[in-house]
Amino acid sequence: MGTDKNDHTVDDTDRRILASLNDDARKSYRDIANELDIALSTVSTRIKRLEEADILQGYIPLIDATALGYELTAVIHVKISRGNLIEVQNALSERDEVFGVYDVTGSFDSVILARFRSRTELNDFVKDMLAHEDVEHTTTHLVLNTMKEEHRIPVTPHEEP
């Protein structure tokens, strides 16, 4: 189990390391040290601390969903009743199609982002969601074109206010 995120202050060296990993998460510690002109041991120690603090949460490949047949992306607004928001969100989070679950303000309680290979898969997903006793209603939007979808977090030097 990681340490508390609040126990670790992210300084400019951490930010520079994170920015380097953002460019290429497969980059070796040695390459990062050379790029940033810092000691290899500093890179290793800093990355380990960032991982333990759950600031650096993992390393994943960025995969083109359409290359794997996921032609439809849906943005689904969900109205949830009976104060069971967390229960419903946790259940939706477990679904393989879902890549985002958000608490939101406004007339809906949650926004779900999901990918599907066909209209049939989307239809089945929405009907299954509506069958949940705590889901009042949904509104589904299909994404026509993706202009930008960035999974990396911008890492910039810390600026004092």
**Environment class of 73 (CB within 10 Å of its CB; exposed 0-12, middle 13-18, buried 19+):** buried
- pLDDT tens over the chain, length 161 residues: 444 555 678 999 999 999 999 999 999 999 999 999 999 999 999 999 999 999 999 998 888 999 999 999 999 999 998 788 999 999 999 999 999 999 999 999 999 999 999 999 999 999 999 999 999 999 999 999 999 988 888 888 766 55
Domain shared by 48 and 74, yes or no: no
Q: Which domain holds residue 96?
A: 65-142
Domain shared by 95 and 36, yes or no: no
Looking at residue 92, its amino acid is: L
Residue 58 belongs to a domain: no
In the chain, the number of structural domains is 2
Nearest in space to 157 (alpha carbons), one of 46, 17, 37, 61: 17
Task: Report the predicted TM-score, pTM, of the whole model to 2 decimal places.
Answer: 0.80
Residue 82 belongs to a domain: yes
